[in-house]
Amino acid sequence: MLLPEHIAADRLVLRRPRREDAPAVAEAIAESLKELAGWFQWAQLLQRFADPEDMGDRATVANLRFDDLHNPVYFIWEGDRLQGEVILDNPLWEEERALEMEVWLRRSAWGRGLATEAARAALRHVFEVERCQLVEARIESRNRASRALFTRLGFQRYGFRRDHERFALSAEDWAADHGEAPRHLGVVVLSHPECLLHPVSPDHPDQPERLQAVLDAARELDLTMLGAPRADERTVALVHPDDHVDVLRARTADAAALDRDTDAGPGSVDAALRGVGGAVAGVDLVLAGHADHVFVATRPPGHHASRTRPMGFCLFSSVAIAALHARYRAGAERVAVLDFDVHQGNGTQDALSGEPGVLFISVHEELLYPLTGRQPPGAPNVVNIGLAPRTDSAAFRAIFAQKVLPRLQDFAPDVLLLSAGFDAHAADPVSTASLQSADFGWLAEQLRAVAPTVSVLEGGYDTVSLKKSAKAFLRAMVMK
């Protein structure tokens, strides 16, 4: 429960506060935000997404995800005073990609443009990151201020019922009005707070702290961080059966072990869909030239998931889906996938074996889980390179210089997807390899020269070395 009970229990209080309730509500929200240190940092990330020039420094827009209702809410702050909020709400959010928008502002803050700025930032997020197709607004007929606000934002009036008018803004109209060249984003990290909510048992290696460690590294490097969109079912179906999302939702309605290693529960499917959506959005960002390199910081990982069943901590085959998205929907002719997680990427390999225009290379330690990595018949596009146990930095770099990088350079991919696992680090408990974090920096330096890259977080189970390794990797990606 993210908010004090009396607020969460009665959303009407929050959404349409009586004037005398507003200060108490604002205070309660501010208090609960302070308690939620992790989420509050996230709020700051989304605030960065809102163009600072647009926002000015007098107002900030934050984002909080409510518990079971799953509605994004932007808060409008002036200093530490909550002045209002923008609520994006619709039960059809997932199916229709349409949602409803509601803005409220304290009377004392009227007339200063705060609501417009916040609503514009929220719209930018839903159209450009969440890829929503339509936003509707319902405005009480006598509410002239709201009518003026939504008209200013480009909403068109399309209908009316007894006591309210309906306005709508489509993604197309938004793009037409904001068609100026999008900001070039350099290196982008895509993540989402839902990925912290994938529940595993206390002794499971894939703890939320892993993701926090990677996000901390990204924050320390001051990278641009955007929300990873949730993939839709059609995207998942590029690799998995059409009903796979529904099947996994049903199987994870309660806490469940999907296989011997794969813990899951409510929230797991949404977390995993952010991983797929982030990988796909990353491909779109680099192929459109909006970003140089993208790192998708999500959990659970994906490279062991088979077409039909979760496996080895993984639910969906995120990187394979992104590779097929790049080939068949985003117009890439050649897509390379390199899996440098210390475990062999069996799920990715199965999904991409024999796939024209796709090269798959897995570099992994031999004799480790899942004991796969044999050459599949009729799949010259698959390359497996097994590392001897206890491989150190020098041997690792030599294998890349001799076998991996030349192969990638010859292939000359339009985009290079990376299954970025950091579990070959010496401190990681799951392997005998003895890499140092600097090796991952070296690797990034080599790989960024091959093509625009989209990395998706796979393994890495010692949080201290994971943070250092991810930081070295990301730092090398941003070097001029």
Report, as residue numbers or ranges, the catalytic residues.
Answer: 304
Q: Does 341 engage in binding with Zn ion (CB under 5 A)?
A: yes
Contacts of 452 (CB under 8 A, 6+ apart): 286, 287, 291, 292, 293, 414, 415, 416
404-423: contacts with Zn ion (CB under 5 A): 421, 423
Inter-CA distances, 316 with 41, 207, 213, 283, 452, Å? 27, 18, 22, 17, 23
Alpha-carbon gap, residue 61 to 59, rounded angstroms: 7
Q: Which is nearer to Zn ion, 145 or 367 (CB)?
A: 367
* Span near Zn ion by CB under 5 A; candidates 129-137, 171-179, 319-327, 335-343: 335-343
Q: Does 343 engage in binding with Zn ion (CB under 5 A)?
A: yes
CB of 364 to Zn ion, least distance (A): 8
Q: Does 364 engage in binding with Zn ion (CB under 5 A)?
A: no
Q: Are strands 415-420 and 293-296 parallel, antiparallel or unpaired?
A: unpaired
Alpha-carbon gap, residue 398 to 403, rounded angstroms: 8
Query: Which tokens is 346 given?
Result: 């069996």
* Span near Zn ion by CB under 5 A; candidates 24-32, 102-110, 111-119, 338-346: 338-346
CA geometry: angle at 302 spanning 322 and 438, to 5°?
95
Residue of closest CB approach to Zn ion: 459
Q: Which is nearer to Zn ion, 227 or 421 (CB)?
A: 421
Q: Which is nearer to Zn ion, 193 or 301 (CB)?
A: 301
Contacts of 173 (CB under 8 A, 6+ apart): 154, 156
CB of 113 to Zn ion, least distance (A): 49
Query: Which tokens is 265 given?
Result: 């529960």
Contact 39, 45 (CB under 8 A): no
* Span near Zn ion by CB under 5 A; candidates 113-121, 147-155, 291-299, 457-465: 457-465
x-or-dash pattern for Zn ion, window 5-44, by CB under 5 A?
----------------------------------------
Q: Which is nearer to Zn ion, 85 or 462 (CB)?
A: 462
Contact 408, 416 (CB under 8 A): yes
* Span near Zn ion by CB under 5 A; candidates 95-103, 386-394, 396-404, 456-464: 456-464
Contact 430, 342 (CB under 8 A): yes
Q: Which is nearer to Zn ion, 71 or 346 (CB)?
A: 346
The kind and range of the H/E element at 161 are: strand 156-161
Q: Are strands 453-457 and 415-420 parallel, antiparallel or unpaired?
A: parallel
CB of 428 to Zn ion, least distance (A): 9
Q: Does 459 engage in binding with Zn ion (CB under 5 A)?
A: yes
Interface residue list for Zn ion (CB under 5 A): 341, 343, 421, 423, 459
